Structure 1
């Protein structure tokens, strides 16, 4: 990786921003195409670009080295991160000691060969940015000593219902203190729907606000739909840290850093800050959908290049972990206020993350104001146009993946910290009842078989999930719908 970067020694002592700390040398293969244009096409929002084009770009190691210097050598020790995404895989650069497998709440959880594994490639890429570490190659992420809990909700085809994401957030809140040495202080959520329900009622907004109230900074990717679209749900909630992307434009000067043109914008609620998100080189997930679909994005045998607010959110999440290591008493409101107040102004949008200034800034005495969500609105409206489809039957209305869903009852239950009882969420068996040691990660939450039942008089739900094809569901910065994997395509032995 050293051939792809040049880090300016001693720049951290000057208190410079990331753009001034890192210079990037071109690393493109001969004849490589430029980064694909951000083209929404029929997708709900713009697809992230996956390319090995040169000209500009950063490795996770570049960014990790820079931010560690800005934070006085911090490495994330003592801070837990919950990654609610598509799972992670056992690849060099993700040390087992730093990885925890939380419950697999995805449709793939019912297949022994797919459980916990990232069959898409997205979660592994973001995990590398946040906590990657490989002494053999020198690869490192932003906070390599933070403890990352992977809560898998997205299947390889992108299928995920908003109710699964809500259940994952609830689990992270209720289990935030399971590891007293590494309590969960940050959630990374590079997921979003196009639902526009007002925050006062939206259940997904209520879930992230509940995490925020319980001391967890929720970092949400703002979306890549450009100036004509608003932020995604839940990034538009004012009680989260909404992150957009910027480019350092391949120079050592911060003065020419610019906000990415694909960042979603809103007149009512804009992103809070930007972080590097263009052509970020992180860990490759061999055999995943992204890996096989975009072979040109491979950088050598072990790495992969991607652009979007997903990558920017991972950078910001790692930076928050470093900030909380240095200043552990900061509340989520104070973290957000400090990062916004110290961000370096750049052209085209919200300021650029400046961790050196944030570490030294005075602690704000004020808290965020506004009316919090009551969570009693519509689950269907929270989905927007995102619907999972099983055997041609879409999941619509006030139903989670198992049956009727009452937002008012759920909101009261989760606020009391009782949405999960062992592996049962709101009365539905979704996982086992405790921790095991049966996977490559340092610790794993046990699995469970989902019991069969009917849904809306149709065979939407049954007891033979393994091998079914699912469509629908959107992740911020990615077009997932229509990509399928069968259980026969994967084997657990590939990751041992």
Structure 2
């Protein structure tokens, strides 16, 4: 999977330009997921503050100015969230850690990469000391960690995370999860009618959850959107380059944003270049890209990851104003209430930037329900993964297997559709976490952890070193004051992301 932000790794989230970490350069890594968040030389020199972003998306005046996202839950499926200044513990929930770092107690739930913390800041920061405030600081943010310090994550971990969110969306009745932010995407180009990842996000959508996905950071000429951004049902977000100004007359499509030559096109654009959000001190991106630091607490990054987080926050504002709104309505309001981006490719294609007041104005109009075909979920996981794969002892994860073992997609789709893929902390028969909200961490509430079984991950000739993940493959992998060492899990595609 790829982060579509400002770093490179096995997962790519959003659109970001950044030098690939050693693992990515080596061509090993996570299952076709991109984290899209940070851009380097391609980004405008002038950083854009979150206050400026709020102005750019039309959320600082009129009816939108009073909205904070209060009463709305947002699920962030990403690299975890660090306990940094600006993220109030009472507003953060740690769901199960499904990452390969979950088996190390000193890494569990924490953002060793820095991507998830940056996304969380865009959405929910509320730092009374520095004045840094996210676009929806009143939301309850649930972090489901899937990515590691070098980005490694398989598409099956993301699927398991989406399944968990759907089943537990109403655990907090005061803040039900109504939005999923996916600032990542796989490099796969699966058939829409049977894609497992598409099935997962469509089930979330049908359960009343707005799914926001980053388009990808491979460039305007790439020819396809990241997966699941390519799914017709959900909201696909590209990034605008705002040129460091509050005027819209100079806005254009960010050059790193994926465009498709066929099929679904981007639904909306949002600011995604040199966005200032929270710094995760000592994380991979923080230590690798010190030039992206702004003061002691902020960090700038570019990518469709950031643009997706901006849009997730906007969706939360709309849901606060209209709690009974359906995902189809939120999508329609955002699209129809958007404003023209007047330059270059965006103008030619008619791509428009989100505007919260514009969306609120559309909320009184009739919305036609979407009628796209639905995925059966029975397709191959490899088609969902694409070319990016988690590597274990030089063996790529492939076939109908998850990180934890065999995963026939027909069986999974039936249980996911019925809402029974998870039973406590057991997903599809594999013990991945504890059985409830009894874990401990810095956050206000935490799902319990569990030890994964010592079984062959995806090759009969390879096994975990031991159930505690110690020994050769995990020794030295701890979160110290400034670095993570002993990386044995490599990642393939946290590329096209960058910190500047």
TM-score, normalization: structure 1?
0.85
Q: Does 1:85 align with 2:86?
A: no
In structure 1, the residue matched to 2:255 is 261
Q: Which has the higher contact order (CA 8 A, sep 6+)?
A: 2
Distance of 2:372 and 2:209 partners within structure 1: 18
In structure 1, the residue matched to 2:482 is none
The structure-2 alpha-carbon separation of the partners of 1:208 and 1:242, relative to structure 1 and needing over 3 Å to count, comes to same
Q: Does 1:182 align with 2:175?
A: yes
Distance of 2:394 and 2:44 partners within structure 1: 42
1:21-60 residue pairs with structure 2 within 5 A?
Answer: 48-50=38-40, 55-60=45-50
The structure-2 alpha-carbon separation of the partners of 1:475 and 1:363, relative to structure 1 and needing over 3 Å to count, comes to farther
1:417-436 residue pairs with structure 2 within 5 A?
Answer: 417-436=419-438
Q: Does 1:95 align with 2:88?
A: yes
* Structure 2, unaligned runs of 5 or more: 1-15, 475-487
Is the CA contact 2:114–2:286 (under 8 Å) kept in the aligned structure 1?
yes
The structure-2 alpha-carbon separation of the partners of 1:54 and 1:397, relative to structure 1 and needing over 3 Å to count, comes to closer
The structure-2 alpha-carbon separation of the partners of 1:54 and 1:343, relative to structure 1 and needing over 3 Å to count, comes to closer
The structure-2 alpha-carbon separation of the partners of 1:64 and 1:342, relative to structure 1 and needing over 3 Å to count, comes to closer
In structure 2, the residue matched to 1:61 is 51
Shift of 1:465: 2.5
Shift of 1:252: 3.7
For 1:421-450, what per-residue CA distance to the aligned partner results, in whole angstroms no more than 9, with x for missing partners? 000000000000000252110000000000
1:396 maps to which of 395, 398, 423: 398
* Structure 1, unaligned runs of 5 or more: 1-35, 481-496
The structure-2 alpha-carbon separation of the partners of 1:131 and 1:477, relative to structure 1 and needing over 3 Å to count, comes to farther
Distance of 2:211 and 2:495 partners within structure 1: 15
Structure 1 window deviating more from structure 2 (163-172 vs 258-267): it is 258-267
1:113-262 residue pairs with structure 2 within 5 A?
Answer: 113-229=106-222, 230-262=224-256
Q: Does 1:478 align with 2:497?
A: yes
The structure-2 alpha-carbon separation of the partners of 1:461 and 1:239, relative to structure 1 and needing over 3 Å to count, comes to farther
TM-score, normalization: structure 2?
0.85
Structure 1 stretches of at least 4 aligned residues deviating more than 6 Å after TM superposition: 36-47, 51-54
In structure 1, the residue matched to 2:100 is 107
Distance of 1:90 and 1:259 partners within structure 2: 33
- What SS does the corresponding residue of 1:140 show, helix, strand or coil? coil
- What SS does the corresponding residue of 1:255 show, helix, strand or coil? coil
Is the CA contact 2:395–2:459 (under 8 Å) kept in the aligned structure 1?
no
Distance of 2:214 and 2:272 partners within structure 1: 11
The structure-2 alpha-carbon separation of the partners of 1:379 and 1:54, relative to structure 1 and needing over 3 Å to count, comes to closer
Distance of 2:496 and 2:468 partners within structure 1: 31
Is the CA contact 2:17–2:496 (under 8 Å) kept in the aligned structure 1?
no
- What SS does the corresponding residue of 1:82 show, helix, strand or coil? strand
Distance of 1:83 and 1:441 partners within structure 2: 14
The structure-2 alpha-carbon separation of the partners of 1:130 and 1:50, relative to structure 1 and needing over 3 Å to count, comes to farther
In structure 2, the residue matched to 1:332 is 327
The structure-2 alpha-carbon separation of the partners of 1:63 and 1:430, relative to structure 1 and needing over 3 Å to count, comes to same
Structure 1 window deviating more from structure 2 (53-62 vs 235-244): it is 53-62
The structure-2 alpha-carbon separation of the partners of 1:368 and 1:473, relative to structure 1 and needing over 3 Å to count, comes to farther
The structure-2 alpha-carbon separation of the partners of 1:394 and 1:206, relative to structure 1 and needing over 3 Å to count, comes to same
Quote the RMSD (CA, aligned, Å).
2.3
- What SS does the corresponding residue of 1:281 show, helix, strand or coil? strand
Question: How many residues are paired up?
Answer: 445
Distance of 1:37 and 1:76 partners within structure 2: 30
For 1:425-483, what per-residue CA distance to the aligned partner results, in whole angstroms no more than 9, with x for missing partners? 00000000000252110000000000111243121445242453101254585389xxx
Distance of 2:340 and 2:196 partners within structure 1: 34
In structure 2, the residue matched to 1:368 is 370
For 1:25-77, what per-residue CA distance to the aligned partner results, in whole angstroms no more than 9, with x for missing partners? xxxxxxxxxxx977899688898315898643311233246624351310010
Structure 1 window deviating more from structure 2 (401-410 vs 463-472): it is 463-472
For 1:341-388, what per-residue CA distance to the aligned partner results, in whole angstroms no more than 9, with x for missing partners? 111111332201111110121343311112110000001111101111
Shift of 1:329: 1.6
